[in-house]
Amino acid sequence: MRTIIEPFRIKSVDPIVMTTREERERHLREADYNLFKIPARAVMIDLLTDSGTGAMSAEQWAAIMRGDESYAGSPSFFVLKEAVKRRFGFDEFMPVHQGRAAERILFHLLGGPGKVILGNTHFDTTRANIEMSGAEAVDIPVASALDPSRDEPFKGNIDIEKLKLTIRARGAVNISALIMTITNNAVGGQPVSLANLRAAREICHANGIPLFLDAARFAENAYLAKLRDPELSSLTIAEIVLKYFEPCDGFLLSAKKDALCHVGGLLGIRDPELAARARTMLVVTEGFPTYGGLAGRDLEAMARGLEEAIDFTYLAYRAAVTSYISHGLITLGVPHVRPPGLHAIYIDAGKFLPHIPPGEFPGHALAVELYRIAGVRGCEIGSLMRGDNCTLQLLRLAIPRRGYTQSHMDYLLEAFEDIVKKRGDIRGYRIVDEPPALRHFTARIAPIGNLSVARPPVTQVSH
Ligand SMILES: Cc1ncc(COP(=O)(O)O)c(C=O)c1O
């Protein structure tokens, strides 16, 4: 199908401010070439993140009006409790203000110097919270995750053989958890198979290591699993979601993604003793256990969002958007992570701009160019975000949920038509100064003036 029928009508609009190229040049200079520092009003299409940027439904806004703001025992908490039980099979959970609050609580308890936390690939805030506790974060992705052009169904998986070897090498007593992130955001929003999750669970349990899900995109993972795993094809999304949560000792969830909220998160822990310690921290740093870091209305919006997230028509529409962009990029010869996930397109900037070495941030260079040409904001996921040892240099174009239409995506593809023509002129960047953690959010960055190294000619990139 050429035309995507967005499965919603627009009832309330948020105007886009049209900017000129000159205005955008000025914004870039004033923001020290850091796109996080550009005012959102100066962005025409904001694909920086899919986190908290979606449109809530009429039913969610109605639920917000039902929100009860009692400090303790709010009925809104019990509405959410029922939804969490129904969708994830967990009796107990803690609301938190967003995903990283759950990370801070969990890794404060499980981390610390000498401890190791394994993962299929830790998201940047997860890694930062692990490292801030003094523990070490170790990623064990499958090899295909590091090859954007390889078209495999479950590139979000953990490498099971390497998992066994790592446990043996580090010693099971030093490993305090395995975090399986579904979908695996850091490698391109790729899904994890149920077989892989279960195999990881077997190994963890044999070694006394708890297994946690980072379930921010639980519904998108379930949708892709239904399409790609013949054993799951006859199940509903709701049934598949339950199967993923069943083997886990706990979960962390940023409700700003699949739960279709603007704020919020959840922490679920099955072990009552660990849960009690987490609840103590929750009370100290987030809030009373029946609201965590949220207002009662946020709990209601989340309960409703958990229901809407598993709607097959909605998920199929999400998939149609990213495959539409992917096809357009293939036609233009722009390499990107294949097959595309649902929440974002990841351009392989390292391959698209081979004249810019990783240390000069090709993903960031492409992000700046896209903003300059078209006012579209994306996010580098490469050496700037993940440090010098990062193998993939990506530009992520995240798709806010229910926020943009097909014509916005056509405009994006037109911008790439322009970029393809002039990509040989795009220059690298250097960091002027940076904070000690999560540098990409606030670093001051500058274009590299003179071409410092001899650059190979740019050749046509094929997939
Ligand atoms: C996989 C994953 N885990 C955790 C987080 C952190 O969640 P939050 O932004 O709500 O703190 C994110 C946010 O993008 C994420 O994608």
What DSSP string runs through 299-340? HHHHHHHHHHTT-HHHHHHHHHHHHHHHHHHHHHT--B-SS-
Query: What is the fold, at CATH topology level, of the domain defined by 58-308?
Result: Aspartate Aminotransferase; domain 2 (3.40.640)
117-to-163, 165, 173, 202, 209 alpha-carbon distances in Å: 12, 14, 11, 17, 10
Q: Which of these is catalytic: 216, 303, 365, 367? A: 216
Residues 365-405 have pLDDT tens digits of 999 999 999 999 999 999 999 887 788 899 999 999 999 99
> Residue 298 catalytic?
no
Angle at 254 between CA 438 and CA 224, to 5 degrees: 105
> Residue 312 catalytic?
no
Pairing state between β 376-377 and 250-254: unpaired
From 49, 9, 34, 123, select the one nearest 398 (Cα to Cα). Answer: 49
CATH class name, domain 21-50+311-447? alpha beta
Q: How far apart are CA 362 and CA 201, in angstroms?
A: 37
The pair of structure tokens assigned to 79 is 């509405």
Verify whether ligand 1 is closer than 6 Å to residue 181 (CB atom): yes
316 in Cβ contact with 132 (< 8 Å): no
Q: How far apart are CA 181 and CA 161, in angstroms?
A: 18
Residue matched to tokens 């929100």: 67
> Residue 78 catalytic?
no
Strand partners, 344: 398
Centre of ligand 1 from the C-alpha of residue 424, in Å: 34
Residue 343 has a CB neighbour count (10 Å cut-off) of: 25
> Angle 194-206/160-170 helices, nearest 10 degrees?
20
From 137, 147, 231, select the one nearest 181 (Cα to Cα). Answer: 137
Residue nearest to atom 3 of ligand 1 (CA): 123
Residue nearest to atom 14 of ligand 1 (CA): 51
Centre of ligand 1 from the C-alpha of residue 287, in Å: 20
Centre of ligand 1 from the C-alpha of residue 39, in Å: 22
Residues of the chain with CATH 3.40.640.10: 58-308
pLDDT per position in the chain (463 positions), as tens? 689 999 999 999 999 999 999 999 999 999 999 999 999 999 999 999 999 999 999 999 999 999 999 999 999 999 999 999 999 999 999 999 999 999 999 999 999 999 999 999 999 899 999 999 999 999 999 999 989 889 999 999 999 999 999 999 999 999 999 999 999 998 889 999 999 999 999 999 999 999 999 999 999 999 999 999 999 999 999 999 999 999 999 999 999 999 999 999 999 999 999 999 999 999 999 999 999 999 999 999 999 999 999 999 999 999 999 999 999 999 999 999 999 999 999 999 999 999 999 999 999 999 999 999 999 999 999 999 988 778 889 999 999 999 999 999 999 999 999 999 999 999 999 999 988 888 999 999 999 974 444 344 443 333 3
Centre of ligand 1 from the C-alpha of residue 452, in Å: 36
> Residue 440 catalytic?
yes
Angle at 106 between CA 101 and CA 108, to 5 degrees: 95
pLDDT of residue 459: 39
Residues of the chain with CATH 3.90.1150.10: 21-50+311-447
424-to-39, 159, 371, 406, 445 alpha-carbon distances in Å: 29, 37, 17, 29, 21
Q: Which amino acid is at 18?
A: M
Instruction: Quickly list DSSP for 387-438.
Output: -TT----EEEEE--TTT--HHHHHHHHHHHHHHHHHGGG---EEEEE--SS-
Strand partners, 184: 190
What is the pTM (predicted TM-score) of this model?
0.93
